[in-house]
Chains A and B, each alone.
Chain A
Amino acid sequence: DGGITQSPKYLFRKEGQNVTLSCEQNLNHDAMYWYRQDPGQGLRLIYYSQIVNDFQKGDIAEGYSVSREKKESFPLTVTSAQKNPTAFYLCASTPGNTEAFFGQGTRLTVV
């Protein structure tokens, strides 16, 4: 079945550690996105990529990094520079001017 897979579903990070969230899609979509969602809040754009080997900062990119070496994959690294990383992270992809397809999300908690 085609879709977007995020892993892990739950992730715990110690302060000062970098962690990488995985996002893989087999929908052959060019565009991929990372969003952060805090409790009771909407989605905020972290990074997006329209094509392989290219990506752009969103509204809250500080403390995060991404790569897009393959069309199918768009991993997000939460670095130690991100001071408040506890949140729900959502990856999405779109084929173009249509709706977004979401992964199931990763819930990151700093311990």
Chain B
Amino acid sequence: RKEVEQDPGPFNVPEGATVAFNCTYSNSASQSFFWYRQDCRKEPKLLMSVYSSGNEDGRFTAQLNRASQYISLLIRDSKLSDSATYLCVVNNGSARQLTFGSGTQLTVLP
């Protein structure tokens, strides 16, 4: 089992749709969690940190469920500019720290 697993995708949705991504992690000692966005041929950029209480930033909502060891990202009212690959990232506090999911590709269609 991979340490961090994401929905395989790709997701193709119309503008204005709501889309959700899930990510599971295997290390129960994991300490911090993030969603990154990566545009084609660019470096990943932090989209949101994920907190136990859940957090929202505009159209984006992230949730963490420690008991079930998964995190989620919800995008409401999708825009064309949301088209990208979304990476789930887990920091387990060890020397290696960061583990990346393989990413989920989202395409928002006009």
Contacts and interface: CB of A to CB of B under 8 A. Distances in A.
Interface of A: 31, 33, 35, 41-43, 45, 48, 50, 56, 58, 88, 90, 92, 94, 97-100, 102-105, 107
B86 to A, nearest CB: 11
A103 B42 CA distance: 10
Contacts of B109: none
B16 interface: no
Interface stretch (B62-70, B75-83, B92-100): B92-100
Interface of B: 31-32, 34, 41-46, 49, 87, 89, 91, 93, 95-98, 100-103
B32 to A, nearest CB: 6
Contacts of A98: 32, 49, 91
Contact of B95 (A42, A43, A50, A100): A50
Given A97-B93, A98-B91, A99-B34, A104 B42 contact: yes
A43 B100 contact: yes
The main secondary structure of chain B at its interface with chain A is loop
Given A58-B96, A97-B93, A105 B103 contact: no
A92 B103 CA distance: 17
A67 to B, nearest CB: 18
A94 B100 CA distance: 14
Contacts of B91: 94, 97-99
A57 to B, nearest CB: 10
Contacts of A90: 43-44
Nearest to A100: B98
A99 B44 CA distance: 11
Given A42-B87, A42-B103, A97-B93, A102 B98 contact: no
A33 B99 CA distance: 11
B42 A42 contact: no
Central interface residue in B31, B43, B93, B96, by most chain A CB within 10 Å:
B43
Nearest to A107: B41
Contacts of A94: 91, 97-98
